[in-house]
Structure 1
Amino acid sequence: MRDVSPGRAGGLAATLTVPGRLDVELTAGPGDVVAVVGPNGAGKTTLVQALAGLQPAAGEQWLAGADLTGVPPQERHVGVVFQDQRLFPNLSALENVAFGPRARGVAAGASRAVARDWLDRLGVGGLAGRRPGELSGGQAQRVAIARALAADPALLLLDEPFTGLDVGVAAALRVELAGHLAGYRGVTVLVTHDAIDALTLATTVAVLDGGRLMQVGPPSEVAARPRTEHVARLVGLNVIRDGDRFRAFTPSAVAVSLHEPDGSARNRWSGTIRSAAPHGGAVRLQVHAGHDLIADVTPAATRELGLAPGRRVWLSVKETAITAY
């Protein structure tokens, strides 16, 4: 690896292009947690694979003062946690986690000591002797995270690490991971489809769509002023783009009726209910009305109006309830 100028040292700076799939420029400093969000097919997994060196990509990538151009995956000082764990099936949990330090030249005994420490930290120290096939999904994911962190990587890549886990298991693992990331001085890139991850674990949210970054900023800013419909739905807002301007409003500000409203609301749309599900004390409707919009209505209104998937409805919002930016 080649040394870089002081101005590029210490974090991540990547300009990556995969023709037809990815064209992004991403930077992050030590200790940053970048949550990458976007719809299916946006290029999130391609980005992770390119950063890990598993997907050929044109461009540059600098990490902790080193140029990774042309550097193979095993020499990149990168830890990766995939959705499906990808643990070595013939190795115990202990040996799986010790693999990273061993690969970096640490002696066998010291590598196992590091592995035991990480397994203990993630609450699975008692499972050190088990092979992946003997672990539950949550246990295996803890081992996978321990394996990624045990090598003390400069870049930690987490590709939807809570997918497929029981809600309670995912919540507990999210809390544990947050604690570890708080003291981690490398750069973390977390691919997620969950607003909770983006808003609670990340220092920066990067919105990917069509292989390009559409918005990058602090979680609070992205949540308050989302620039894509996907992120708006993720954080529970409706956003309509009007040229270079965006108009946002909450689901609770949307009035739902079976007939075109004749009141003062200037903003009205006709559409079809796609889904209706409990949301706190309300029922959240997803309606396709030219735009994909969400509306919160009371359970009583849901019953009285017969609001169910397939029903045609009118939505309206008063101008005073809309924020433009």
Structure 2
Amino acid sequence: MSGEPARRLVADLRVPGRVEAAFTAAPGEVLAVIGPNGAGKSTLLHALAGLVDVEGTALLAGTDLLGLPVRERRVGLVFQGQLLFPHLSALDNVAFGLRSRGTPRAAAESVARAWLDRFGVGDLAARRPRELSGGQAQRVAIARALATDPDVLLLDEPFTGLDVSVQMALRIELGRHLRDFAGIALLVTHDAIDALTLADRVLVLDGGRVAQSGAPAEVAAEPRTPHVARLVGLNLVDDGDQLIAFTPDAVVVSLAEPEGSSRLRWRGQVATVAPHGDAVRLLVHATPDLLADVTPAAATELGLAPGREVWLSAKATAVSRYAAR
């Protein structure tokens, strides 16, 4: 597998009733896969790894990964929740993939120790998974996936279940290793931070289909699904052949219908009221559901509470319009 064009992944996958996705990924690229629960994100990764029955093709260097036995796919997989072998030490967990391919023990352990050191857990090599914290165990799991020098690295929500501070530290570490990774990485995530800081491109799944793809900044600026809009903190309104996106702080909340032809307006019932930085954020059940940020003083003056009927409006100059596809 030599030369960048030859190592490009060209996939057209179908897991009947669950996901149907066509996409490409280049060597050295991190592709973030995002979408709501049940969109088919994990199923897509599991299809590439050979863990579910799948139709279609996934061509890498002219070879269809889907036609290869799982052990020959050169795919590394990191699940959410670590899933280390409980009876093996951290060192043996990381060396496992190499040993299963016939690498002599001493050589496999040398590679495993190097990867544990790179992730800052080399001193924990002799510990079993039950003796590791969540963050330590996930570092071992990622080291195990990278130790086999995979062509494709599949990361299925690797930060889920970890403390926020541990997530931040591990995100930085993983980002550093991904920058040096010559293969292709697919990262399933539900966090906009991951997509914006780790990914070169974003693939949006919705209802098992590809709804959008592009650079993270492009997807964040012009979201095409409500899930992505919420992920990046925007309101999204479908206006036929156009989509309208705007920030919650561009929304004016009033009890009476707003005046002025230059304003877009919606009426709805307040669903939730919660602090959001220096503001108070409202979720209003309008058509569609919308977010609005108001000052604490305005929230008190208007008596904003769940169940309150309100009007929402935004100036036409405060919204972004782009073609619906």
TM-score band (shorter)? Answer: over 0.9
Q: Give the Cα separation in 1 of the matches to 2:271 and 2:30.
A: 34
* Equivalent residue number for residue 57 of structure 1: 54
**1:324 corresponds to which letter in structure 2?**
R
Q: CA deviation at 1:263?
A: 4.3
* CA RMSD, 1 decimal: 1.8
Q: Say yes or no: does 1:198 pair with 2:195.
A: yes
Matches within 5 A, 1:126-141: 126-141=123-138
Name the CA shift for 1:244/1:103 in 2 (closer, same or farther; >3 Å): farther
Matches within 5 A, 1:232-271: 232-271=229-268
Q: Say yes or no: does 1:39 pair with 2:22.
A: no
Unaligned stretches of 5+ residues in structure 2: none
Name the CA shift for 1:311/1:92 in 2 (closer, same or farther; >3 Å): farther
Q: Give the Cα separation in 1 of the matches to 2:118 and 2:297.
A: 48
Per-residue CA deviation, residues 182-225 of structure 1 (Å, 9 max, x unaligned), is: 01010010001100000110000111000000100000110111
Q: Identity across aligned pairs (percent)?
A: 66
Q: Say yes or no: does 1:27 pair with 2:7.
A: no
- Partner of 2:66, secondary structure, is coil
- Partner of 2:123, secondary structure, is helix
Per-residue CA deviation, residues 148-186 of structure 1 (Å, 9 max, x unaligned), is: 111111111111111111000000000000000001010
Q: CA deviation at 1:51?
A: 1.1
Q: Say yes or no: does 1:161 pair with 2:142.
A: no
Which range is displaced more, 272-281 or 205-214? 272-281
Per-residue CA deviation, residues 238-278 of structure 1 (Å, 9 max, x unaligned), is: 12122232111111110112332234553111122333333
- Partner of 1:9, secondary structure, is helix
Name the CA shift for 1:257/1:62 in 2 (closer, same or farther; >3 Å): same
TM-score normalised over the length of structure 2: 0.94
Q: Say yes or no: does 1:299 pair with 2:272.
A: no
Q: Is the 8 A contact 2:48 2:66 kept in 1?
A: no
**1:100 corresponds to which letter in structure 2?**
G
Matches within 5 A, 1:102-251: 102-251=99-248
Q: Is the 8 A contact 2:89 2:127 kept in 1?
A: yes
TM-score normalised over the length of structure 1: 0.94
Q: Give the Cα separation in 1 of the matches to 2:149 and 2:305.
A: 51
Q: CA deviation at 1:95?
A: 0.4
Q: Give the Cα separation in 1 of the matches to 2:57 and 2:141.
A: 28
- Partner of 1:69, secondary structure, is helix
